[in-house]
Amino acid sequence: MTSYRQPGVTLTDHRFSVPLDHANPSGERIELYGREAVATEKAGADLPWLLYLEGGPGFGARRFIGRQAWLGRALEDFRVLLLDQRGTGLSTPANRQTLPARGDARQQADHLAHFRSDNIVRDCEAIRPQLTGGAPWTLLGQSFGGFCAVRYLSAAPEGLRTVLITGGLPTLDGGPDDVYRAAYPRIERKVAAHYARYPQDVEQARRIVAHIAEHHPVLPNGYTLTPEAFQSLGILLGVGDGTHQLHYLLENAFVPTPGGHELSDTFQESVAAQLSFAGHPLYALIHEAIYAQDDRPTAWSADRVRAEFPRFDAARTLAGDTPLLFTGETIHPWHFTADPALRPLRETAELLAARKDWPTLYDPDRLAANKVPVAAAVYHDDMYVDTTHSLRTARAIRGLRTWVTDEYEHDGVRASGPRVLDRLLALARDEI
């Protein structure tokens, strides 16, 4: 193990070996990486552990510098493990560069079927005794990390001392179609709010998408920018400062040239950085699979359900005079032709979309009998996680206490500094 310091924090690298398939513990093994963080002045103290699971799927744990965001509050009480979930960060990677070693597309899809919350929880239980000596730990789950937390409560509650969930209470019995059918109206509300704040963006967005439809630009990283890809920049609207980020991006779209107005290099570079899945391909590959729990394929759910909401059609918008609607946290088949980081994985993605044998993730009976203290922040009208679904799940988990707020968007635990985590700890401890 390697230890080093940042301001006020001592960090230690941990690497763990776990089975790829926990049902076959003697088979292939993969590596997990976790970064331990402890307040430097408490480095030698006997502290309880807090496990942090990042949102996603497909993102490694956030790389904090010092005591940023919620980490400073956590370090007052805990020794923290920032875990790179399987396939992410410094854990054994799964991407266009590594997956060909698995074999053909079918073998790659079979491999990726092991990367959902059920196996993430099994990973956590495999490494917990090595760190805590067998003691239960507190779990902080952000977004998809909250989905993992509900799976943890369903499968191994004995490993949990307390559970804190931020923007991550999943539907227990709904499939991806239910998720996206609830999402598109919510996304439309976020777009309307953006245009109310920045009315100049209505015409600018129409102008940009018309240019894209006519010129079919290819971004500097090789990404084919289509109207649908441009619309997906709406994912920014789900975080606290996202509406401002989107506005600044749009206002810098065009530059005058001898041949007329063209998309500026600055705009193209910014869009390429926002749209590329090079750093988190698992997000695109298994995003819909995180909702699957039965013998029905996901079958490109977000794309199918979008057809029920024709107002999102860019061509229809350009033919009329309505504002362009952006989209949000949805994955479509065109992602695997537009993005060079995903193109080699298109057949793999198709096989995952057609897969039917997804295990059930949640145990309603066990959740109804829950004895672990649980507190959850539910962000009202969260763009990424439906509030109605979240509150229904909250009622199904015995003893869970909710804090429903519209003060923050989906990134509240990060954007609020210590406030969200402090509130949830107080709820879980019955201090308020």
State how far the alpha carbon of 219 is from the alpha carbons of 103, 280, 286, 393, 430, in Å.
30, 19, 25, 42, 52
Choosing from 46, 321, 357, 365, the catalytic residue is 357
105 bridge partner residues? none
Phi-psi region of 409 (alpha: psi -120 to 50; beta: other; left: phi over 0): beta
Q: How far apart are CA 29 and CA 351, in angstroms?
A: 24
Q: How far apart are CA 2 and CA 12, in angstroms?
A: 6
Choosing from 143, 232, 301, 416, the catalytic residue is 143
Instruction: Count CA within 13 A, CB hemisphere, residue 168.
Output: 30
Q: How far apart are CA 87 and CA 33, in angstroms?
A: 10
Q: What is the DSSP letter of 290?
A: G
The verdict on whether 143 is a catalytic residue reads: yes
Question: What is the CA angle 110-115-117, rounded to 5?
Answer: 135
Q: How far apart are CA 192 and CA 190, in angstroms?
A: 5
The verdict on whether 410 is a catalytic residue reads: yes
Choosing from 301, 389, 410, 411, the catalytic residue is 410
141 bridge partner residues? 53, 165
Burial 130-149 (b: 16+ CB within 10 A, else e): ebbeeebbbbbbbbbbbbbb
* Residue from 144, 107, 161, 86 nearest 375 by CA: 161
State how far the alpha carbon of 60 is from the alpha carbons of 28, 82, 86, 319, in Å.
22, 9, 9, 42
Question: What is the CA angle 222-227-231, rounded to 5?
Answer: 100
Catalytic residues, by residue number, are: 143, 357, 410
